[in-house]
Amino acid sequence: NAGVMQNPRHLVRRRGQEARLRCSPMKGHSHVYWYRQLPEEGLKFMVYLQKENIIDESGMPKERFSAEFPKEGPSILRIQQVVRGDSAAYFCASRGETGIFIGGYNEQFFGPGTRLTVL
């Protein structure tokens, strides 16, 4: 049972280029979350998606950032015209459906992250 997969693990871009980060959730999981972690800082929520729908994007910068989770394929976090301040670790997490049998707890499982460096 493969865990959450993210690729690439490391991504280097020059200012102005585009970055595409991919996340494949755990098998059977339809909920995906993206987080950003700056060096020496905590996780910051960016966006929550369920298949083909954006549920909550309150943590996403208004410009240059977008996310999708198509019916088929991985979730994509896209950053256009990257700037140095975008350099961070981007983590994806997935979860299954909350059910009464697990007491309503909806644990998130994290992928290994993509470390983006903008030169």
Q: Which spans of this chain sit near another protein (rule: CB under 8 A)?
A: 33, 35, 41-45, 48, 55-56, 89, 91, 93, 104-113
Cα-flanking dihedrals φ and ψ of residue 75, to 5°?
-80, 145
Two structure tokens written together for 69: 């989770």
Give the nearest distance from C-beta 83 to another protein in angstroms.
23
Give the nearest distance from C-beta 118 to another protein in angstroms.
18
Nearer to another protein, 55 or 119 (CB): 55
Mind giving me the DSSP string for 52-112?
A: TEEEE-TTS-SSSEEEE--SSS-EEEEE-S--GGG-EEEEEEEE----GGGTT----EE--
DSSP H or E segment with residue 11:
strand 10-13
Give the nearest distance from C-beta 75 to another protein in angstroms.
15
Give the nearest distance from C-beta 113 to another protein in angstroms.
5
Rounded to whole angstroms, the Cα distance separating 106 from 94 reads 10
Nearer to another protein, 80 or 98 (CB): 98
Nearer to another protein, 66 or 109 (CB): 109
Nearer to another protein, 17 or 109 (CB): 109
